[in-house]
Amino acid sequence: MSKPNKNSKFKELNVTKETYKAIKNVGFKYMTEIQAEVLPKALDGTDIVATAKTGSGKTLSFLIPAVELVAKLLNEAPSTYCIIVSPTRELATQTYNVLQDLVCFHEGITSALIIGGENRKAQSILLADNVHIVVATPGRLFDHMRTKEFDYKNVSCLILDEADKIFQYGFEEDLKQIINRLPKNRQTMLFSATLSDTTEALIKSAMREDYYSINTDEDNDRATVEGLKQGYAICETEYRLYWLHKLLKKTLNQKIMVFFSSCKSVVFHHEFLSKYCSMSVLCIHGKMNQADRTSVISEFYCADKMALFCTDLAARGLDIPAVDWIVQFDPPADTNEYIHRVGRTARGLGAEGRAVLLLRPEEKEFIEYLKEAKVFLDKYETWDKFSNLQPKLNEALQDPDFHEMAVEAFQGYIRAFEVKKLKHVFNLLSMDMDAVARSFGLKEKPDVDIHLAQESAVVGLKINTNETKIISNRAHEKIEVDQKVIEYVTEYTYLGQIISPKNMTDKEVQQRVASTWKRYWSLKGVGFSKKHRPRKRKAATTIVPEKLKK
């Protein structure tokens, strides 16, 4: 968390005695940087756009103004005055729990948690009672806004928490509808770890022109919080499971979170390590029902020592106490996701934590991108001896259900590379699929279809681990092409740029592209007319990396 501003105390804020008593009751005396910047403006009703790293103390920055707003309106007719939108059920639940701590000395302030996975009818009854503060996820909130039971015409404050993630999780349209339905004369506060073009567009449409903008990261030379010791380890692909097993053995008396890139991978590793290796681990992912997710979070929250396997569902906003280690077993989608993941440790004033990122040898370049993002990692030496897990894997794989888990985990791991932005670092095309299969205990690699979106006019790429084929971006239909073209596309096409192999001239590359398209249309019985001709500008784009010229 950000260092406390020793010159800014909560008692200096213009808040009710009930709110200040609640702040003292939870042990806060000094404000963090973002709290000191935001709270005076927010309490005056100013629109706020705040950018701050994970663990900076932003939750109190918007909850205190929300409570104070309602406290001033308690003598008015009961109505919903404030809506807080969170991207995930877990973050919404946690925000709601912090809110309860803040209103515990206020008589008459009511609130409701409105999230998916819970009883919709019970939520409608709560909303019909005109609760003062609603904490909600976007989808379920918009559902209720389309019913007559929820009266939101008096909403005076809208708070968007983790706005960048709201968009990333696909709630852009819901959020636009929510904003359009709310009264225009309101205060709006937006909090985000990063500001994207989509977020900037939202600011223009949802905020008043005189909004106050604060970025507590601008002058920092590190993107992660102080007190965090972080490093990376390099491990050969097929030994990744062995590495994780040894790490868990060495951290038995600690509280750790292990991040995976897919739900299926979480399920597989949890099943194997808990059932066949007798390790104490929990798991949480997006496919679980809400009751199970809540139960797991509660158990991990209260535990002194435990491992939690999770997807990035849990990477945002959850304030779980005393997490000792963040283990990124599967690499994040990008540098921003790395920062959000490690934000689950070293939370709180003076807190410390550790983080380790596991990479395959060919992914080491990701460290350079982290440096550019002001994230600096030490190199951790990996172990040279591991426990022999193969007998346990062989035993487990005798169970058809577990074998299916392994296959699905393999497929989930591979498909997760589709969304990674640094394609040349997290390079699916050069990956040793056999080694990946062995990392899941499988003797043979299963089939998995992957579509890598390409901007070039060549073709899209669809990989079957046993047989590579090329498909049309336009028609999404498989076609057979000559092996040389397959090898060329597989090895040298990245991010829509046609990269010339060293043994082919630019002209030969363009001829390959043209012949591939011509064959595709001829197989469909269509002449290579102007109507179907690929755009020449894209097809002619050729880039020859220096290392290929040598």
Q: What CATH number did the domain enclosing 260 receive?
A: 3.40.50.300
Is residue 290 located within the same domain as residue 149? no
Phi, psi of 451 (to 5 degrees): -115, 115
- End position of a domain, from candidates 392, 419, 439: 392
pLDDT in single tens digits along all 550 residues of the chain = 444 455 689 999 999 999 999 999 988 889 988 999 999 999 999 999 998 776 678 899 999 999 999 999 998 989 999 999 999 898 899 999 999 999 999 999 999 999 998 999 999 999 999 999 999 999 999 999 999 999 999 999 999 998 888 887 888 899 999 999 999 999 999 998 777 778 888 898 899 989 999 987 655 555 555 668 899 999 999 999 999 999 999 999 999 999 999 999 999 999 999 999 989 999 998 888 888 888 898 899 889 899 999 998 655 556 777 889 999 999 998 888 888 788 777 555 446 789 999 999 999 999 999 998 888 999 998 888 898 999 999 999 999 999 999 999 999 999 888 778 788 888 877 788 899 999 999 998 888 766 544 333 333 333 333 333 333 333 333 333 444 444 444 433 433 333 344 455 556 655 655 555 455 445 444 444 443 344 433 333 333 334 333 3
Is residue 523 located within the same domain as residue 544? yes
Distances (CA, A) of 478 to 462, 464, 468, 527: 8, 11, 10, 18
* Ramachandran class of 295: left when φ > 0, alpha when ψ lies in -120 to 50, beta otherwise: alpha
**Does residue 408 fall inside a structural domain?**
no
DSSP reduced 3-state for 256: strand
Burial (CB count <10 Å: 0-12, 13-18, 19+), residue 550: exposed
- End position of a domain, from candidates 215, 240, 258: 215
CA geometry: angle 375, 377, 379, nearest 5 deg: 165
Q: In the Cβ-directed half-sphere of 170, how many Cα atoms lie within 13 Å?
A: 1
Is residue 512 located within the same domain as residue 463? yes
**Does residue 416 fall inside a structural domain?**
no
Rounded-to-integer distance, Cα 98 and Cα 17, Å: 18
Q: What pLDDT shows up at residue 493? A: 40
Which regions of 86-239 does DSSP assign to beta strands (E)?
A: 111-114, 133-136, 157-160, 187-192, 212-215, 228-234
**Does residue 102 fall inside a structural domain?**
yes
Is residue 50 located within the same domain as residue 145? yes
* Residue from 260, 316, 250 nearest 283 by CA: 260
DSSP character at residue 444: S
Beta bridge partners of 192: 51
**Does residue 277 fall inside a structural domain?**
yes
Q: What pLDDT shows up at residue 384? A: 81
**Does residue 163 fall inside a structural domain?**
yes
Q: What pLDDT shows up at residue 467? A: 38
Rounded-to-integer distance, Cα 157 and Cα 469, Å: 54
Is residue 48 located within the same domain as residue 183? yes
**Does residue 427 fall inside a structural domain?**
no
Beta bridge partners of 380: 233
**Does residue 50 fall inside a structural domain?**
yes
Q: What pLDDT shows up at residue 224? A: 59
Rounded-to-integer distance, Cα 178 and Cα 140, Å: 11
Supply 458's token pair.
């060549």
Structural domain span for residue 521: 447-550
* Residue from 169, 226, 160 nearest 188 by CA: 160
Q: Are strands 378-380 and 467-471 parallel, antiparallel or unpaired?
A: unpaired
Please give the single-letter amino acid code of residue 56.
S
Phi, psi of 495 (to 5 degrees): 45, 40
* Residue from 310, 298, 337, 326 nearest 227 by CA: 326
Q: What pLDDT shows up at residue 339? A: 83
Is residue 172 located within the same domain as residue 96? yes
Q: Rounded to 5, what percent of the chain is helix, strand, coil?
A: 45, 20, 40
Is residue 174 located within the same domain as residue 238? no
Is residue 518 located within the same domain as residue 496? yes
Q: What pLDDT shows up at residue 484? A: 42
Is residue 258 located within the same domain as residue 160? no
Is residue 210 located within the same domain as residue 324? no
- End position of a domain, from candidates 161, 191, 215: 215
Is residue 323 located within the same domain as residue 352? yes
Is residue 353 located within the same domain as residue 374? yes
Q: What pLDDT shows up at residue 269? A: 97
Distances (CA, A) of 319 to 297, 368, 447, 544: 11, 29, 39, 47
Q: Which residues contact 430 (CB under 8 A, 6 or more apart)?
A: 362, 491
Q: What pLDDT shows up at residue 218? A: 58
**Does residue 301 fall inside a structural domain?**
yes
Structural domains of the chain, count: 3
Q: What pLDDT shows up at residue 526? A: 41
